[in-house]
Amino acid sequence: MGLSKTIWTDLSEFLRATRPETPVLFFSPAALQATARRFLSGFPGLVTYAVKSNPEETVIENLTAAGVHGFDVASPFEMRMIRRLAPEAALHYNNPVRSRSEIGVAVSLGVTSYSVDSRSELAKLIDLVPAKGTEIAVRFKLPVSGAAYNFGAKFGATADLSVELLKTVAEAGFIPSLTFHPGTQCTDPGAWEHYIRAAGGIARGAGVKIARLNVGGGFPSHRLNGQPPQLEAIFALIDRVATETFGADRPALVCEPGRGLVADAFAVAAPVKAVRDGAHVFLNDGVYGSLTELNMIGVINRTVVLTPEGQKRAGAPRNLIVFGPTCDSVDRLPGEMLLPGDIAEGDHLVFFGMGAYSTVTNTRFNGFGELSIATVLSLKI
């Protein structure tokens, strides 16, 4: 992946000047810092960044510059990278299943916050991590929907098991906390309400006063026209419900957004390779490239089509089937996309809100997947 040092005014200028044939991710540091400030000023607690959603170093550096000083990390690679780029930042190791050697790396890097969702993994932490000054957050799950897909399918203890784990954490001398993840792209604020009230029940059931409640990631990005994310409404609800639930014992709050912080700071411009017989659009990017997520959580309809000169197409909209470049029939975007009817070979189909789970899940399948990043002052067209 090439990183251009030049800062371009906007997408059109870049496309006109360079005529790229491979997909380009446009990054607006100003947009990223603005979203970071929205979280930092609106969320009633500590804002950390889930590194897996976009581990580009420029993203980490811009978040740090904006005032984000905590990171949710899941692997030795991520821990070492953050230690290098932001040596003073707090590392929250919230991947609840770890090998013993991974735990060893965390201890050697001074990690003092872990999450856990099982007896066997808690036993490993008790064995290997010094308890004094170290937080262990029990990750619990509920059968709650509202997100684009169910995160509870892999991680999270039931409420009953969480009561037991929380007691064990406290008895072993660790700082006891609770954590959950409502599922990614969670557009229903009610999901947080269910989880926070359940956290209250678990803490009471265990007879443990929790130090912190980590309300996860899951904050939505702007994928659909006319449906901007309601971040401030979610923050206000979290604040109110935390007070109602815990009263005088209200824990400090933590959030760990990935998508909600980074997605809207990037747009992808995918070259149109062909419009086959006027009916099928073939892009030089697809579900094995930076558009991996679209088949899992649904299409993004915040798009524009730009001509090779960087002009916006405005032909009468048509429903079109859109394919990626590989020879695999799975490489197709879900459903049909309503696109300007005059879309043509050599154009670029631009998807907004593409900063999360795009650069990092791109593959080189079938020889495609060469991505570059261009920095722009603004993502406005």
Ligand X SMILES: *Cc1c(COP(=O)(O)O)cnc(C)c1O
In the bound complex, what is the minimum distance in angstroms from residue 117's beta carbon to ligand X?
A: 10
Cβ-based nearer residue to ligand X, 257 or 286:
257
CA distances from 33 to 11, 218, 254 (A): 19, 19, 19
DSSP assignment of 114-175 equals EEE-SHHHHHHHHHHS--TT-EEEEEB--S---SSS-GGGTS-B-HHHHHHHHHHHHHTTPE
Q: ∠ at Cα 144 (143, 147), nearest 5°?
A: 130
Cβ-based nearer residue to ligand X, 191 or 339:
191
Per-residue b or e along 169-206, where b marks 16 or more CB atoms closer than 10 Å to that residue's CB: bbebebbbbbbbbbbbbbbbbebbbbbbebbbebbeeb
In the bound complex, what is the minimum distance in angstroms from residue 329's beta carbon to ligand X?
A: 29
CA distances from 178 to 3, 189, 199, 215, 240 (A): 39, 19, 7, 9, 18
Cβ-based nearer residue to ligand X, 258 or 324:
258
Q: What is the dihedral of CA 249, 182, 107, 82, to 10 degrees?
A: -110
Task: Measure the CA–CA gap between 105 and 73, rounded to whole angstroms.
Answer: 12
In the bound complex, what is the minimum distance in angstroms from residue 254's beta carbon to ligand X?
A: 10
Both structure tokens of 99 = 């090998």
Cβ-based nearer residue to ligand X, 94 or 326:
94
Cβ-based nearer residue to ligand X, 52 or 194:
52
Cβ-based nearer residue to ligand X, 66 or 272:
66
Cβ-based nearer residue to ligand X, 212 or 259:
259
| Pairing mode of beta strands 266-276, 348-352 | antiparallel
Cβ-based nearer residue to ligand X, 154 or 280:
154
In the bound complex, what is the minimum distance in angstroms from residue 169's beta carbon to ligand X?
A: 17
Please, are residues 329 and 337 in contact by the beta-carbon 8 Å criterion?
Answer: no
In the bound complex, what is the minimum distance in angstroms from residue 115's beta carbon to ligand X?
A: 7
In the bound complex, what is the minimum distance in angstroms from residue 343's beta carbon to ligand X?
A: 31
In the bound complex, what is the minimum distance in angstroms from residue 187's beta carbon to ligand X?
A: 12
Task: Measure the CA–CA gap between 169 and 142, rounded to whole angstroms.
Answer: 21
Provide the CB-side half-sphere exposure for 285 (13 A, CA): 30
In the bound complex, what is the minimum distance in angstroms from residue 232's beta carbon to ligand X?
A: 17
Give the nearest residue (CB) to ligand X: 217
Task: Note the residues at the interface with ligand X (CB under 6 A).
Answer: 50, 52-53, 72, 94, 181, 184, 216-219, 256-260, 356
Cα 248 to chain centroid distance, Å, stands at 32
